[in-house]
A = this chain, B = another copy of it.
Amino acid sequence: MRVKLSRLAQIVGGEIIGDPDLIIEGIESLEEAGPNHITFLANPKYAASVKSSNAGAIIVSPEWKDLGKNLLVCEDPYLAFARISTFFSTGDRSPLGISPQAILEPDVSTGNDISIYPLAYVSSGARIGDRTEIHPGVYIGKDVRIGCDCVIYPNVTILAGTIIGNRVIVHSGTVIGSDGFGYAPSPEGYFKIPQNGIVEIGDDVEIGSNCSIDRATFGKTRIGRGTKIDNLVQIAHNVQVGEHCAIVSQVGISGSTKIGNQVILAGQVGVAGHLNIGDGVRVGAQSGIAHSISPGKDMSGSPAIDHRTWLKCSAIYPRLPEMRSLLRDLQKRIDFLEKKLNEGK
């Protein structure tokens, strides 16, 4: 793809300083960009590298107007970078149609311009929307509904009844709709509770690789519109995740917990079951959430406490040995003082 810098400025709504007719063939990092690449400066700490970059043009924020290079000046250079990178990434892959080496049970309904690759398996009653791609090794269960413009990467498993919105991306190895972990204790051991519910995933959700999202016991496990989930994440049965959340790698959310909108859970966080996590809550890496959290709070630690308190406590923790000796020292001095005072009587 070859476009003029002026075309990119139109896409992101930015202002050009320098040559608007410069031909750009792709976007690269500061180090790797050549004279027909555009790059970007989003983090001021990389400003020094800009001088030595061979990039033909650079996306910058207004404060860097005077770099003396071809610039595309934008209020939000990182977002502009994302948009231009998307522009260059969108190949014109032509749809594959339905491979004769894919297995489709009877009664599958498919939209226009879809791709179902060899070795994919689609069960009866499934409905696949326009332009959606189902890659090799994917399993689509009975009555699954997948919207338009989705990409289901190789070796994903989507079990019976799952409902998936539009523009959803599911990365390899992820399992959607496995049974929730539910048993009734009985004299003969754990008695399995049938998991009769489903999973429902909103529009514009992206789910990383090797995640597990369990179906509900009754009703739905739900992932809200625009939420992004990293790799190896566990979402238990009947969890409700709100919209535009970011759930980082290796997080685990226990059964029936409700996560609000725009919540951020950092890596390896664990959330206990049946809790309410308010809108806008942010939780630090490896934290353990044992209680519901009000909207807007920042929490850290296991068990989690207010993030700022946790910062202070974490700083004191390595001083526990010192505190303990001081405490013992004070105890001796008080013993001595008391003795002296008693003698003084």
Q: Which A residues are within 8 Å of any B CB, using their own CB?
A: 28-29, 32, 76, 78-79, 81-83, 85-86, 88-89, 101, 103, 117-119, 121, 135-137, 139, 141, 153-155, 157, 159, 169, 171-175, 178-179, 181, 183-186, 188-194, 196, 204, 206, 208-212, 214, 217-219, 225-226, 228, 230-232, 234, 236, 243-244, 246, 248-250, 252, 254, 267-268, 270, 272, 285-286, 288, 290, 301-303, 305-306, 309-310, 312-314, 316-321, 323-324, 326-327, 330-331, 333-334, 337-338, 340-341
Q: Which residues of B contact A103 (CB under 8 A)?
A: 101, 118-119, 136
Q: How far is the CA of A317 from the CA of B306 in the complex (A)?
A: 12
* Shortest distance from the beta carbon of A143 to any chain B beta carbon, whole Å: 14
* Shortest distance from the beta carbon of A184 to any chain B beta carbon, whole Å: 4
Q: How far is the CA of A147 from the CA of B160 in the complex (A)?
A: 25
* Nearest opposing residue in chain B for A86, CB measure: B194
Since A82-B193, A230-B234, A267-B272 are in contact, a sample of 19 more A-B pairs with Cβ atoms closer than 8 Å, ordered by chain A residue number, is A29-B219, A86-B192, A121-B137, A121-B154, A135-B139, A153-B159, A172-B175, A173-B178, A181-B230, A208-B212, A231-B234, A232-B234, A248-B254, A250-B270, A268-B288, A270-B286, A286-B302, A312-B321, A316-B320
Q: Is the CB of B286 within 8 A of A288?
A: yes
Q: Which among A76, A204, A254, A303 has the greatest number of chain B C-beta atoms within 10 A?
A: A303
Q: Is the CB of A246 within 8 A of B183?
A: yes
* Shortest distance from the beta carbon of A89 to any chain B beta carbon, whole Å: 4
Q: How far is the CA of A136 from the CA of B138 in the complex (A)?
A: 9
Q: Which residues of B contact A267 (CB under 8 A)?
A: 234, 252, 254, 270, 272
* Shortest distance from the beta carbon of A60 to any chain B beta carbon, whole Å: 15
* Shortest distance from the beta carbon of A229 to any chain B beta carbon, whole Å: 9
Q: How far is the CA of A252 from the CA of B127 in the complex (A)?
A: 36
Closest 8 CB pairs of A and B: A212-B231, A139-B154, A89-B194, A178-B209, A157-B172, A82-B184, A189-B226, A175-B209
Q: How far is the CA of A141 from the CA of B171 in the complex (A)?
A: 13
Q: Which residues of B contact A137 (CB under 8 A)?
A: 121, 137, 139, 155, 157
A-B contacts, 16 of them at CB < 8 A, read A78-B184, A81-B184, A82-B192, A86-B193, A89-B194, A178-B209, A181-B231, A189-B226, A190-B228, A190-B246, A236-B249, A268-B288, A270-B285, A272-B285, A313-B320, A317-B320
Q: Is the CB of A81 within 8 A of B193?
A: yes
Q: Is the CB of A136 within 8 A of B136?
A: no
Q: Is the CB of B79 within 8 A of A186?
A: yes
Q: Which among A181, A206, A321 has the greatest number of chain B C-beta atoms within 10 A?
A: A181
Q: Is the CB of B334 within 8 A of A326?
A: no
Q: Which residues of B contact A309 (CB under 8 A)?
A: 318, 321
* Nearest opposing residue in chain B for A122, CB measure: B136
* Nearest opposing residue in chain B for A43, CB measure: B274
Q: Is the CB of A252 within 8 A of B254?
A: no
